[in-house]
A and B are shown apart, each in its own frame.
Chain A
């Protein structure tokens, strides 16, 4: 499976990654806040991830790493 990692402490909850993910099922907002007080995005289900990198490309914080299983 591919892997999406969000740096929880860097995220400022803009939701761009959630909104632009073509699958819509991979990322969700956390139910707990980070140190800055935001509900960060987190990768919850990698089943449908195609490692397109869009979530990372729209992230203003550079908080997302995307890895493809080859």
Chain B
């Protein structure tokens, strides 16, 4: 028998504290797989946010730092400047990044920090119980927009991959999703490319992943995957917004 797929060795035995069907689990796994395939486990420093992935430091046998809410890009700046040869992965959710930490991520992009940002966008605050995020879709019902998000009170959703791609310091920005086997493959390719650019010493590499939150969206996991196709990608189109590596070729 030959192994086609097994759980990455870089994972600890800790059971993940994500809800059933949560996209974080898939994205965590892809990061683990890529680090193993590319021989990066030894060099990795993973920086985790506050949010549903706050315990992810327990899932990986790598160096991990759990930053304060929104501050992961600032902590990542300190780490990467101190250890420029390391693989520094700044992992953030949408509440963490786009609300609390908007200044930190924008200025990491402005400075062109040479780390990778994996931005998990599920358009809601998961851990605190399903409140509105800046990324929440128009008319989406959350516990703090019980009648749906309305622009006169809260404005419009924020498209981070596009915004970051507009900064000179950004080398690569792509939006992907994990709602099907094909999209999961594309997500893996995007994160792998981002890691490659980082190890080549390029500027900020940014991967936004549209991720299902069945609990926060109050739907079954399979319905959540469909909702990404039907609704979420209409606000957040998939695609590459900047790839200086392609342009150089």
Question: In this assembly, does B23 line the interface, its C-beta being within 8 Å of a C-beta of chain A?
Answer: yes
From residue 26 to 65 of chain A, which have CB atoms closer than 8 A to chain B?
A: 38, 51-54, 56-65
Residues of chain A with a CB closer than 8 A to B231's CB: none
Residues of chain A with a CB closer than 8 A to B130's CB: none
Interface core residue of B1, B8, B222 (most chain A CB under 10 Å): B1
Contact A16 B21 (CB under 8 A): yes
Contact A63 B2 (CB under 8 A): no
Given known pairs A14-B221, A16-B221, A16-B222, the reply for A56 and B5 (CB within 8 Å) is yes
Contact B26 A58 (CB under 8 A): yes
A38 to B21, CA, bound (A): 12
Contact A53 B1 (CB under 8 A): no
A5 to B162, CA, bound (A): 41
Residues of chain B with a CB closer than 8 A to A53's CB: 4-5
Residues of chain B with a CB closer than 8 A to A67's CB: 1-4
Question: In this assembly, does A8 line the interface, its C-beta being within 8 Å of a C-beta of chain B?
Answer: no
Question: In this assembly, does B234 line the interface, its C-beta being within 8 Å of a C-beta of chain A?
Answer: no
Residues of chain B with a CB closer than 8 A to A9's CB: 15
Question: In this assembly, does B24 line the interface, its C-beta being within 8 Å of a C-beta of chain A?
Answer: yes
Query: Which residues of B are at the interface with A, using a C-beta cutoff of 8 A?
Result: 1-8, 11, 15-16, 18-26, 29, 32, 180-181, 184-185, 214, 220-222, 225
Shortest 5 CB-CB distances between A and B: which pairs?
A: A60-B25, A12-B20, A14-B21, A56-B5, A14-B221
Q: What are some 5 contacts across the A-B interface (CB < 8 A)?
A: A58-B181, A58-B184, A60-B21, A61-B25, A62-B29
Task: Given contact pairs A16-B221, A67-B2, enumerate 11 new A-B contacts (beta carbons under 8 Å).
Answer: A2-B4, A12-B20, A13-B20, A54-B181, A57-B181, A59-B25, A60-B20, A60-B26, A62-B7, A62-B11, A68-B4
